């Protein structure tokens, strides 16, 4: 199963006190081209201090990837346990969030805490999924390429904010 439409681009949007934030239109258009849902799925990213986000239709592809990984690791004595742990994180530790006609979502408190999202959110397309970052955390992460940090600084400057 290949994805025809990919998430790409970046944007910085304000998060209000109630956790409302607008999902950029370039991301919503991909969600809507992939399916009929006006919903995003949020999860803690498994590597970075951010949230991973995607459309509900992507969940089936994610499940298939986990199944293939299990097949590759079948000889490992811990393969079944690791598979179950990955499934728990991939599916139980997620929240589906609908967006309104203007593209706003309410970040669930648990997800807001997991992503350490406060008053601004940086949206980054990553192909099959997109990420939602606290830009301060991205700028501090030594694993993030300098070019992406430059984009983040630019997005902050666009909004009149300091990096």
pLDDT tens column, 40-60: 999 999 899 999 999 988 877
Residue 1 has pLDDT above 50, yes or no: no
pTM: 0.86
The residue among 80, 104, 100 whose CA lies nearest residue 23 is 104
Is 139:48 a contact under the CB 8 Å cutoff?
no
Cβ atoms of 27 and 125 closer than 8 Å = yes
Q: Please compute Rg for the chain using Cα positions.
A: 16
Looking up tokens 């406060």 gives: 118
CA angle 87, 138, 115 (to 5 degrees): 45
Range in 32-46, 101-115, 124-138, 144-158 with the lowest mean pLDDT: 32-46
């Amino acid at each position: 199963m290949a994805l025809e439409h990919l998430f790409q681009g970046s944007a910085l949007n304000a998060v209000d006190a109630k956790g409302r934030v607008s999902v950029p239109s370039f991301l919503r258009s991909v969600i809507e081209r992939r399916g009929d849902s006006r919903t995003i799925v949020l999860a803690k990213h498994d590597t970075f201090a951010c949230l991973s986000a995607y459309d509900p239709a992507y969940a089936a592809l994610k499940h298939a990837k986990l199944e293939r990984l299990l097949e590759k690791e079948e000889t490992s004595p811990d393969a079944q346990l690791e598979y179950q742990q990955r499934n728990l994180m991939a599916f139980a530790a997620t929240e589906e969030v609908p967006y309104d006609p203007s593209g706003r979502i309410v970040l669930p408190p648990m997800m807001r805490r997991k992503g350490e999202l406060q008053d601004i959110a940086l949206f980054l397309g990553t192909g099959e999924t997109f990420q939602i970052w606290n830009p301060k955390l991205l700028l501090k992460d030594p694993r993030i390429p300098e070019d992406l940090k430059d984009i983040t600084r630019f997005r902050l400057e666009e909004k009149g904010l300091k990096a």
